[in-house]
Amino acid sequence: MFSKSCKYAIRAVLFLAANASEAQKMGVREIADALDVPKHFLAKILQDLSRHNLVSSVKGPSGGFFLSDKNMRATLRSVVECIDGPEIFTGCILGLPVCSSENPCPMHKQAVVYRAGLLDLIEHQPIVEVARKVKEQGLKL
Amino acid sequence: MFSKSCKYAIRAVLFLAANASEAQKMGVREIADALDVPKHFLAKILQDLSRHNLVSSVKGPSGGFFLSDKNMRATLRSVVECIDGPEIFTGCILGLPVCSSENPCPMHKQAVVYRAGLLDLIEHQPIVEVARKVKEQGLKL
DNA sequence: ATAAAAAAAGATTTTGTTGTCTTTTATTCT
DNA sequence: AGAATAAAAGACAACAAAATCTTTTTTTAT
């Protein structure tokens, strides 16, 4: 489904959304410990997200990562596309180089429906909304 | 989504279902050429499927692979589970070690729905039905 | 200046994919 | 029946990609 990097990315972003702020930045170590993921791998992922303006960061002492208001309004879809690339939503489910409604693979029609559902999950709710649910319901990350 | 092996497996099984029979067995070379996939990688996958009784094979001259009637009545789900393992349907979409309705991750509820849809695609139609559509509509593999 | 933190680059390990070669089995032809 | 042959099965090596770890550099608050 999602790559490991992408799963870590989603969890990290939601964790930041729920627990950090510009006034309360979080270091990689803290996030990695909380999510129980390899610290340096996570650092690389956060740098990727930072370069794409999906998370904000400040260097130096009392620096760290957090989500700006703009970051908060992005959707999980942008996070997924940033890490796993957009083909995850568009490529043929059987890996055929060409596969379209005119020239479909045997699973094309169903795959379209299924993907619409997946996109729906991660596209319409901005990160801030998901984070709110995480906090309210004390969901795990 | 599916691993490369799994995509190859699905395509190979459907190809066999549509083009081979006990009387008309197909060699790995033929299948690999038709699907444009690496021959030896495909051979390994077919051996896997054969060990799990999802495809049938006969050695020796005029031997090859085909689908028995029983193989034909299996579903694509068994193929996918054979190659990618059952966790692809059951594991947490965010990769959390424990994630259930009692202790859900932020995407759990939606993931359940989405997966039900995916399973539906590949579970209910037996291979023979999918193959019939492939033949009728001249779908690509 | 010093220390803390992210950023960057790169080395290493692990996993997945592809290719080569050998062995085993079954068929077909004498 | 026995030899030749065709095909799957299996062992193993090479390569590629993904994941993880290490080291160095840059920035910035104190």
DSSP string, chain A: ---HHHHHHHHHHHHHHHH-BTTB-B-HHHHHHHHT--HHHHHHHHHHHHHTTSSEEE-STT-EEE--HHHHHSBHHHHHHHHH-THHHHS-TT--SS--SSS--TTHHHHHHHHHHHHHHHHSSBHHHHHHHHHHHT---
Q: Measuring CA to CA, which residue among B97, B91, B125, B85 is closest to residue B111?
A: B91
Closest protein residue to D29 (Cα–C1'): A61
Is the C-beta of residue A19 closer than 7 Å to nucleic acid chain C?
Answer: no
The whole-angstrom distance between A61's CA and the closest CA on chain B is 32
Sign of CA dihedral B105, B106, B107, B109: positive
- C-alpha angle B118-B120-B123 in degrees, rounded to nearest 5: 105
A122: pLDDT confidence band, cut at 50, 70 and 90? confident
* Exposure string over A106-135, b if 16+ CB within 10 A, otherwise e: bbbebbeebbeebeebbeebbbbebbeebe
**A-to-B residue pairs, Cβ atoms closer than 8 angstroms:** 79
The whole-angstrom distance between B55's CA and the closest CA on chain A is 19
SS3 B103: coil
Chain A residues 58 to 77 whose Cβ lies within 7 Å of strand D are: 58-63
Residue A95 to residue B140, Cβ atoms within 8 A: no
> What CATH number belongs to A4-137?
1.10.10.10
Distance CA B34, CA B31 (A): 5
Which pLDDT belongs to residue A82? 92
Q: Which residues make beta-bridge pairs with A133?
A: none
A109: pLDDT confidence band, cut at 50, 70 and 90? confident
Cβ of residue B40 closer than 8 Å to a chain A Cβ: no
Domain-by-domain residue ranges, chain B? 4-137
pLDDT tens sequence for chain B (141 residues): 889 999 999 999 999 999 998 889 998 988 998 898 998 899 999 998 998 889 999 988 888 999 999 999 999 999 998 988 888 888 899 988 889 999 999 999 888 888 887 888 788 889 999 999 999 999 988
Question: Which residues touch B10 (CB under 8 Å, ≥6 apart)?
Answer: A94, A107, B2, B76, B79, B80
The whole-angstrom distance between B8's CA and the closest CA on chain A is 8
Digit-coded pLDDT (tens) for A5-27: 999 999 999 999 999 999 999 99
Which pLDDT belongs to residue B7? 92
Residue A117 to residue B117, Cβ atoms within 8 A: yes
Mutate to test the interface with A, among B108, B140, B141 (most CBs of A within 10 A): B140
Burial class of A100 by CB neighbour count within 10 A (0 to 12, 13 to 18, 19+): exposed
B29 neighbors B18 (Cβ within 8 angstroms)? no
Is the C-beta of residue B82 closer than 7 Å to nucleic acid chain D?
Answer: no
Mutate to test the interface with A, among B94, B119, B122, B136 (most CBs of A within 10 A): B94
Mean pLDDT of A103-120: 86
Digit-coded pLDDT (tens) for A53-73: 999 999 888 899 999 999 999
Is the C-beta of residue B43 closer than 7 Å to nucleic acid chain D?
Answer: yes
Tell me which chain B residue has its CA closest to the CA of residue A102: B139
Distance CA A84, CA A78 (A): 10
